Amino acid sequence: MSTPVRVRFAPSPTGPLHIGGVRTALYNYLFARKMGGKMLLRIEDTDQNRFVPGAEEYILESLRWVGIEIDEGQGVGGPDAPYRQSERRDIYQKEAQRLVNEGKAYYAFDTAEELDAMRQRLEEANAPAAQYNSITRMQMRNSLTMKPDEVHACIDAGDPFVIRLKTPRKEEVRLNDLIRGWVNVHSSAIDDKVLLKSDGLPTYHLANIVDDHLMGITHVIRGEEWLPSAPLHVLLYRYLGWEDTMPQFAHLPLLLKPEGNGKLSKRDADLGGFPIFPLQWTDPTTGQVARGFREDGYLPEATINFLALLGWNPGTEQELFTMDELIASFDIAQVHKAGARFDIQKAQWFNHQYIRQQSDADLAPTVQQQAEAAGFACSLEKAEKIAALLKGRVNFAHEIFTEAGTIFNAPTTYDENIAAAKWNDDAIKAVTVFRDALQAFEGDFVADSIKHALSDSMQQAGIKQGKIMQAMRLALTGLGAGPDLMLTMEIIGKEETVKRLEKALTTLKTPVS
C-alpha cells in the first residue's frame, strides 16, 4: 500500500475487557505487524455514565500480558495525543457544529417525554420502526421545524439539546467489507443518530469517525456488532468531506457460546465454570470477583494461540504458533464470516501444549511454593524433577503439585482391583528382591541406575520384569498407573523407596485363590 497501515483498538473503560475484545486487539495487531504498519490504542470514554474506575488500567495490563505492543496511544503517547476521547471534546464539538452549519445535521430540543410519545404513536400506528428519522423529524422540536429565532432563543436560554445527523431520505449507502464483501443499505433504514449529546460529549458514531480520520487510521477492524452502524459511518465520512480517505472496514465474527447458539456472555462463562476475561477483575462497587485467564493458569502464549484461531484459519494443519508465526501467517481475507464457537477444552489443550514446552526451571518455583504452602520441604532441584516428570500430564502449572501427591505422600491405601489382580507370590518375591538390591545399592540414585538395579535383580530372581511392574508401582504409590516409575523413585529417594517397599510387603496380603 502507498499509505502506511495504521489500525486502532478503541475499547471503552466500562468494566473488564471481554476476551472477545482481546481477540479484536490481536487481529488488529497481527494485521498491522504483517503489513509493516502501526497499532494505536484509544480509550473511548465519552459515555461517562458507564465509566468504571480501574477499567482503563485493566485494559492496558491485559494487552501487556498477552504481548500486544502498542505503537501509539494511551499509555504510550504519540503525535495525535490526547488518546482519551473525554479530553478531545472541543474537536468533536467543532465538527458537529460544522455539520449543522452545512445543513447536514441539526439541533434537536425534544424532551424524554416527547421522544417517548413519538415512539408510542409510531408503535400504535404499526410503523415498521419507531425511530427518529427523515420522516418523523418533521413532527418534532428541532431546528428543521422551528424558526431560526426560536432556535437561538432556546440555545441562549440554556435549553438542553442534542445534535442529530440529517440522514438523507433516499440514498443507497455501500461499503466493501474486507471479510463480508459488499454491504448495501438504503438510507431510509438509517435513523437520525445523535452525534453530540446534551452534555457536550459526542456519541461513539461521531467521535470514532473524527478520531479515525485525524489519526490517519487506514483499516477499522472491529466486532460484528458494529456492522449495522457501518453505513451510518460511511454517511458521516461523506458529510464531513473525508470519503476519499475513509478507512477500509473489516467486521470480525462473533464469539459464540460453547454450544454454538448465540453470543458468548459472562453468564455462559459462569455456568460453564471458565473465565471470559483475560485477567481477574474485582468490581469496584460490589466487590464481586470475576475469573481471569491469567489467574486460572493459562499462559499468555496459549491464550493468544487459542484466540487467533477463533475465527481465522491459516489454511494449513499447523495449530501451534508463536506470535511471530501468527504475524507471518495472518491474512484478513482468511477470517471467517460465521461465528466461532468458544471451546474452553481447546483452550486447555493449547495450554497443555505450552506447559509441555516450558522449561522445568520455569515451572519449578510454582511447584516449590505449593509444596511448601502444604507443609512439605521441597528444594528447587526436587521441584524441577517433579516438573519434568509431570508437566506432560497437566493442563496448568498449578496442577503439577496436585499430580505429585504420591511423591510427597506415601500410600496409606492400595488400589484393591490392582492388588487383587497383580499382588501375587511373584510380586512379593520381586518386591522383596528389589528392596534388598536397593538396600545394598551404592552410587547416585538416579533413574538409569535404578532401572539397571531393577533389571538385574529381576533377572537374578528369574522373574519377568513386565509381569511385576504394575505390582511394583502399587507398592510404591498405591496406584496401578502413573508417570515414569524410575523417575518417581529418583525423586522420592532411596530411603523413602525402600521404606515404601517394606510397608507394602507388611500391609498387602496375597489374595487367596
Q: Which residues are catalytic?
A: 266
126-130 long-range Cβ contacts below 8 angstroms, 24+ apart: 129/189, 129/191
- What is the gyration radius of the CA atoms in the chain, in angstroms? 33
Q: Would you tell me how many other CB atoms lie within 10 Å of the CB of residue 469?
A: 16
Using CA atoms, how far apart are residues 94 and 243, in angstroms rounded to an integer?
19
C-beta neighbour count of 383 within 10 angstroms: 26
Full 3-state SS string of 382-411: HHHHHHHHHHHHCCCCCHHHHHCHHHHCCC
Sheet holding 105-108, edge to edge: 105-108, 162-165, 194-196
Report the run of H or E that residue 426 belongs to, with start and end: helix 425-439
DSSP-assigned letters across all residues of 227-294: GGGHHHHHHHHHHTT-GGGPPEEEEEPPEEPTTSSSB--HHHHHHHT---BSS-EE-TTT--EE-BTT
82 upstream amide cis, omega within 30 of 0:
yes
Residue 266 labeled ligand binder: yes
Q: 505: phi > 0 → left, psi -120 to 50 → alpha, else beta; which?
A: alpha
Closest CA to 144 of 121, 161, 124: 161
C-alpha cell of residue 513? 485363590
- Which amino acid type is present at position 457? S
Give every CB contact of residue 394 below 8 A, 6+ residues apart in sequence: 352, 355, 400, 403
Query: In angstroms, how far is the first alpha carbon of the chain from the final one?
Result: 82
Say which amino acid occupies 49.
N
Closest by CA to 356, choosing from 295, 313, 315, 400, is 400
Q: Is 174 exposed, middle or buried (0-12, 13-18, 19+ CB in 10 A)?
A: exposed
For 327-441, where are the E strands, in sequence order? 340-341
What 3-state class would DSSP assign to 95?
helix
Would you state the cell numbers that stand for residue 77, as one nine-digit string? 503517547
Sign, CA torsion 32/33/38/43: positive
Binding-site annotation: residue ranges for ATP: 266
